[in-house]
């Protein structure tokens, strides 16, 4: 029992330090102007996290506190943190909170300056780039894809067909289908570029399919791509992937525009 007061003092000190850290972070972030979007919240958070003023491993304030500090809704903070988690800036520990990750590169803000989080013009450019790279990957895959990869893609299509009413599962199977194509291209640089772009666009990709009708259309497009790949027809692959990327890009940008 003699140790109880010491333990109590320790807990009080930890709580006090946590509260002080929260207050410091909130004050440093400042408020975001009216009409700001998720991209601006993410940019403000990223700039602070990489400023050197916050130690790695620090637990971040709760979403409602960050939202109050920035003068935005909690949903904007939640989506910004989700994007930063995908990019490896923060880590979410269920039941504990969101923490700043170790090993953040000082070059990261420059690397992300062309990314989706920094405004509509760059997002549109990123979507254009993704479309071109997806077509190139598919053309290369037409000559290099293995029967094993085709079988996995057949499984992806089956999952998509079975989850037309579960858009979260559908989008995941869709992503696996495209990842298989990138891997089958045999070009590691191209594969890594596409993975980075998909991560930057993840929020908008998740929003692109809004109903079963969109999902059914996307499934038809993927089946056409698969048939061309199975035939090892590079021209048909390029045509079907180009057509798919046009409609996919329109859906993605519609979701992005709706958020502005």
Q: Look at residue 39 and tell me whether its pLDDT is greater than 80.
A: no
% of the chain beyond a pLDDT of 90: 35
CB 87 within 8 A of CB 116: no
Indicate whether this model's pTM tops 0.95.
Answer: no
CATH 1.20.120.530 for domain 119-259: yes
Environment class of residue 141 by beta-carbon count within 10 Å: exposed (0-12), middle (13-18) or buried (19+)? buried
Task: Give residue limits of the domains in the chain.
Answer: 30-104, 119-259
Count the neighbouring beta carbons within 10 Å of the beta carbon of residue 257. 12
**What is the 3-class SS of 83-100, one letter each residue?**
HHHHCCCEEEECCCEEEE
- For residue 39, give the nearest of 113, 108, 150 by alpha carbon: 113
3-state DSSP assignment of residue 152 = helix
Q: Which residues pair with 93 in a beta bridge?
A: 97
pLDDT confidence of residue 178: 96
Residue of 180 and 116 predicted with greater confidence:
180
**Residue 120: its H or E element:** helix 120-144
- Section 102-128 average pLDDT: 59
pLDDT confidence of residue 153: 98
pLDDT confidence of residue 234: 96
Distance CA 241, CA 134 (A): 7
CATH number of the domain located at residue range(s) 30-104 in this protein: 1.10.10.10
Distance CA 225, CA 157 (A): 11
């Amino acid at each position: 029992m003699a140790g109880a007061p010491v333990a109590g003092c320790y807990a009080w000190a930890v709580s006090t330090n946590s509260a002080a850290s929260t207050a410091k972070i909130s004050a440093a972030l400042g408020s975001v102007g009216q009409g700001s979007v998720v991209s601006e919240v993410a940019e403000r958070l990223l700039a602070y996290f990489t400023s050197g003023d916050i130690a790695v491993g620090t637990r971040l304030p709760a979403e409602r506190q960050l939202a109050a500090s920035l003068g935005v809704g909690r949903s904007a903070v939640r989506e910004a943190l989700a994007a930063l988690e995908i990019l490896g800036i923060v880590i979410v520990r269920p039941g504990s909170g969101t923490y700043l990750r170790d090993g953040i590169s000082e070059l990261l803000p420059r690397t992300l300056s062309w990314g989706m989080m920094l405004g509509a013009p760059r997002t549109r450019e990123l979507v254009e780039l993704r479309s071109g790279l997806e077509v190139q990957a598919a053309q290369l895959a037409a000559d290099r894809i293995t029967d094993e990869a085709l079988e996995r893609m057949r499984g992806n299509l089956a999952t998509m067909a079975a989850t037309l009413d579960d858009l979260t599962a559908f989008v995941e199977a869709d992503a696996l289908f495209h990842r298989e194509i990138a891997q089958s291209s045999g070009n590691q640089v191209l594969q890594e570029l596409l993975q980075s772009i998909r991560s930057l666009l993840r929020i908008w990709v998740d929003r692109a399919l809004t109903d079963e009708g969109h999902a059914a259309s996307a499934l038809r497009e993927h089946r056409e791509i698969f048939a061309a790949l199975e035939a090892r027809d590079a021209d048909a692959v390029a045509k079907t992937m180009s057509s798919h990327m046009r409609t996919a890009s329109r859906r993605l940008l519609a979701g992005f525009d709706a958020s502005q």
